[in-house]
Amino acid sequence: MDNFVIHGGKKLGGEVRISGSKNAALPILAAALLTRERCVIRNVPDLRDIKSTFDLLNHLGKKCFFEAGAFTVTEPGRLKHDAPYELVRRMRASVLAAGPLLARLKKVRVSMPGGCSIGVRPIDIHIEAFKKLGAESCYEKGDIVLTGAKLKPGRLRFRFPSVGATENLMMCAALLEGRTTLENCAREPEIEDLAAALRSMGVEVEGAGGPRIVIRGQSKLRALRHTVIPDRIETGTYMLAAAAAGGRVKLTAADPKPLGALIKALERSGTKVTCGRDSITVESAGGRPRPVNVSTAPHPGFPTDLQAPWMSYMARCRGNASVQENIFENRFMHAAELLRMGASVYISGNKAYVHGVEELNGAPIMASDIRAGAALLVAAGAAKGRSVIRRTYHVDRGYERVEEKLRALGMKIERVKG
Ligand code: EPZ
């Protein structure tokens, strides 16, 4: 297993190019299951989770390959309807195969994903919504089996704006001839990107990015042709790495629009942010940031996926800052690692109270999920001395060529075999 060895405390500078969005690419690759036609998807990042999707699609009967830099999907034979535990446990986003397969084959069997280090993460909202469109469900040996003989377009309201449930239902409705209305939808930019991909297949989609999405499905869909949006969470992570370590960093091929909540918080903390049409420049004032409280919320609120790196940044604030997590019930695992670096964090329920310290010190630390790993990179880059981050495979699930990009910004980071 690989480790990252970082000698921190050095200012960052230069430019880094942002990759395509992991969380936009995953549902869009699943949408290839909606058609027999050859699908071509560009700007797909080279990540472990994408490799897992590649394996899942191949298992289901698709053939995936990279051609001229594009993720290409064809369908040489019959599709299968099962996503087994072996694949789902590697990546819970495998449940996104349920919507397209249910609509296409009228039957799907998906292993229940189970919890992960950030929370229990049930899929009841997905299942309830499929049932509202006429699906029937039962549990068998740890799998959920959905059948759709009576599936038809309709109207439903999610009890919570779940990102995955919104995506799954959009894909299912895309292949149901007629009008489906989804209410209380997630409003994340990745939903808008999925809507754009579905439109390229001939589906009419209105309202994506807002709470009500109307889909006019078709019985047969065209080929999918799409370029994935820039990764807003990767962008935010590099913005925080620069703010925490100090210096001036420009992010290119980035989209500032979905990062309003982070940009506002960074500016309040004293970091300068300048936005271009497809670039963002972050310039730290030098010294310790002003304390700023954040509280995570569905988009356009402060993203839960940036909560951990934000805490690393606040660890050196001049005063006290709170960080409240409202989306996942167990997303503070990084705090214990920050304590090992000399941070002062006290957790009560879903709120972390950070008392800023003068300095963080390098230490051996361990990543517990993708964004906790990102938080440790941010902290180690800002800390004095040497840190060794273990379980880097979490980071590799979500950050393309991370050490190469950080090294290009001047961070002293190496990947070594552990
Ligand atoms: C997506 O997960 C992202 N993953 C997550 O990114 C992100 O943190 C999350 O949205 C919130 O923005 C992908 O896009 C692949 P949810 P998802 O359904 O779809 C509860 C990362 O690091 N819930 O909006 O699983 C759930 O337990 C990852 O890149 C139910 O109770 O998120 C959670 O508390 C981590 N029942 C909340 O809703 C359900 O059926 C939000 O979950 C579904 C969700």
CB distance 178 to ligand 1 below 6 Å = no
279-283 and 247-252 beta bridge pairing: antiparallel
Atom of ligand 1 nearest to the CA of 303: 12
Atom of ligand 1 nearest to the CA of 398: 29
- Predicted local distance difference test score (pLDDT) of residue 90: 87
SS3 283: strand
* Residue 113's pLDDT band (cuts 50, 70, 90): confident
Atom of ligand 1 nearest to the CA of 186: 24
Distance CA 244, CA 354 (A): 15
CB distance 93 to ligand 1 below 6 Å = yes
Mutate to test the pocket of ligand 1, among 327, 329, 334 (most ligand atoms within 8 A of CB): 327
Mutate to test the pocket of ligand 1, among 49, 126, 137, 162 (most ligand atoms within 8 A of CB): 162
**Is 80 exceeded by the pLDDT of residue 115?**
no
Would you state the CATH architecture of domain 2-19+230-417?
A: Alpha-beta prism (3.65)
Residue from 305, 324, 311, 315 nearest 370 by CA: 305
**Is 80 exceeded by the pLDDT of residue 418?**
no
Atom of ligand 1 nearest to the CA of 120: 27
Give the least confident one: 56-65, 82-91, 296-305. 82-91
Task: Specify the residue with its C-alpha closest to ligand 1, atom 20.
Answer: 121
More confident residue, 119 or 35: 35
CB distance 304 to ligand 1 below 6 Å = yes
Quickly count helices (H) and strands (E) in the chain.
Answer: 14, 24
Please, are residues 8 and 380 in contact by the beta-carbon 8 Å criterion? yes
Q: Choose, from 116, 172, 275, 317, the residue flagged as catalytic.
A: 116
DSSP H helices, 270-392, are: 307-314, 333-340, 370-382
Structure tokens at 31: 């949408």
Query: pLDDT averaged over the chain?
Result: 96
pLDDT in tens, 131-154: 999 999 999 999 999 999 999 999
Distance (angstroms) between ligand 1 centre and the Cα of 185 equals: 13
Residue from 54, 300, 36, 73 nearest 192 by CA: 300
- Predicted local distance difference test score (pLDDT) of residue 319: 98
Share of the chain above pLDDT 70, in %: 100
* Residue 120's pLDDT band (cuts 50, 70, 90): confident
CB distance 124 to ligand 1 below 6 Å = yes
Q: Of all helices (H) and strands (E), which one includes residue 248?
A: strand 247-252
Task: Specify the residue with its C-alpha closest to ligand 1, atom 38.
Answer: 162
Q: CA 207, 32, 393: angle at the middle one, nearest 5?
A: 95
116 is catalytic: yes
* Residue 95's pLDDT band (cuts 50, 70, 90): very high
* Residue 320's pLDDT band (cuts 50, 70, 90): very high
Atom of ligand 1 nearest to the CA of 371: 22
- Predicted local distance difference test score (pLDDT) of residue 39: 98
- Predicted local distance difference test score (pLDDT) of residue 403: 96
Residue from 289, 399, 365 nearest 5 by CA: 365
Distance (angstroms) between ligand 1 centre and the Cα of 48 equals: 18
Distance (angstroms) between ligand 1 centre and the Cα of 334 equals: 18
Distance (angstroms) between ligand 1 centre and the Cα of 163 equals: 6
Distance CA 204, CA 363 (A): 53
The predicted model gives 217-244 an average pLDDT of 98
**Is 80 exceeded by the pLDDT of residue 416?**
yes
Distance (angstroms) between ligand 1 centre and the Cα of 261 equals: 19
CB distance 165 to ligand 1 below 6 Å = yes
CB distance 418 to ligand 1 below 6 Å = no
Distance CA 262, CA 285 (A): 17
pLDDT in tens, 24-46: 999 999 999 999 999 999 999 99
Distance (angstroms) between ligand 1 centre and the Cα of 272 equals: 31
Share of the chain above pLDDT 90, in %: 93
Do the domains 2-19+230-417 and 22-227 sit in the same CATH topology, yes or no?
Answer: yes
Task: Specify the residue with its C-alpha closest to ligand 1, atom 7.
Answer: 305
CB distance 375 to ligand 1 below 6 Å = no
- E strands, 105-168, are 107-111, 136-140, 143-147, 155-157
Give the start-to-end residue ranges of the domains of the chain.
2-19+230-417, 22-227
Distance (angstroms) between ligand 1 centre and the Cα of 121 equals: 7
CB distance 160 to ligand 1 below 6 Å = yes
Class of the CATH-defined domain 22-227: alpha beta
C-alpha to C-alpha distances, 336 to 268, 312, 342, 396, nearest whole angstrom: 26, 11, 10, 21
Distance (angstroms) between ligand 1 centre and the Cα of 164 equals: 6
Mutate to test the pocket of ligand 1, among 22, 44, 163 (most ligand atoms within 8 A of CB): 163
Distance CA 35, CA 350 (A): 42
